[in-house]
Amino acid sequence: MILVTGGLGYIGSHTVVELCNKGHEVIIVDDLSNSQLSVLDGIEKLCGHRPIFERVDLKDKVEVMDFFKKYQEITGVIHFAALKAVGQSVDQPLLYYENNLVVLIYLLQELKKMGGTNFIFSSSCTVYGEADKLPITEAATVKPATSPYGNTKQVGEEIIRDTCKVNPKLKAIALRYFNPIGAHSSGEIGELPIGVPQNLVPFITQTAIGLREELSVFGDDYPTEDGTCIRDYVHVVDLAKAHVAALDRLMQGRNDLNYEVFNLGTGKGSSVLEVIQSFERVSGQSLNYKIVDRRPGDVIQAYADTKKANEVLEWQVKYNLGDAIKSAWDWEQRIKKTTTKG
């Protein structure tokens, strides 16, 4: 049985579907603080059955202990349950340190009691900070984080690595994502932020659909070709498949080390303005946006060297930027139709 924490969230829900497609039995834990129970209906339609779901506040140690007492047959954990907005973390650092680090510690404490298992950590390219060299490899220096969010990912990796050193039966992989976007082609699941979106693409689609008046582009004076920040945008379904590949590696014992890290991206950087232009091409409509001041915590550019994941995990991306943007736009339009009918 594979435990997916935050399994009703954006990346978590897509990963649950890919796990089910590979025949894994999945149990989802989520506190619904940044997700909706209706996502479980979409997962059920895609999986052909309804995975076990438990609503658990993973910041509550007693609830975590009770959960693991109830489910002792867990053979792998994919840990998504964390807050993820750079800007919000700058404004509310303690919220991020509590949610992202305390929860991780509680999970690892329970896995220690079990004697260890297979553990996949949802990390981030933010651990690299402003990289000295592009594309970014896993050997790049981990610099002081530019945001509390990024720091929680750095410290989270250190906690896991140190735990693995003293517990050889705990086998862990940290997956350093670049920027996940897009939605499942079925239209059953996608990115569903609660409140104002903290990421670029859902803010674009919500602006285009009329939920937001205007998109703010944070700075056009960076040392890039068009002056806007550059990121590596990877389709969420490609990302979900990478988690299954990482889990397979752990469960089949193909790794000599009990702690590894992998970059997950496309290997190509796209600027904010390029993403906007891609949206305008696939949607056939102009987007209302304006340039505003830079946002604290943003790095100038980051895109991945994916050679290690390509070779070791045997994972390749299938979708390009245009594919991902189109799927996100199709999803946004579907949400509007469903809401209007409701």
CA distance 2 to 74: 6
Q: Which of 103, 308, 269 minimizes the C-alpha distance to 179?
A: 269
Question: Directed axis angle between helix 200-209 and helix 321-341, to 10°?
Answer: 50
List the structure tokens of 66. 């009770």
Q: How many residues does the chain have?
A: 342
What angle, rounded to 10 degrees, do the helices at 103-114 and 148-166 form? 10
Rounded Cα distance between 242 and 246, Å, is: 6
Asked whether 113 and 68 are in contact (CB, 8 A), the reply is: yes
Q: How far apart are CA 238 and CA 253, in angstroms?
A: 23
Which of 280, 268, 9 has the alpha carbon at shortest distance from 122? 9
Q: Which residues carry out catalysis? A: 149
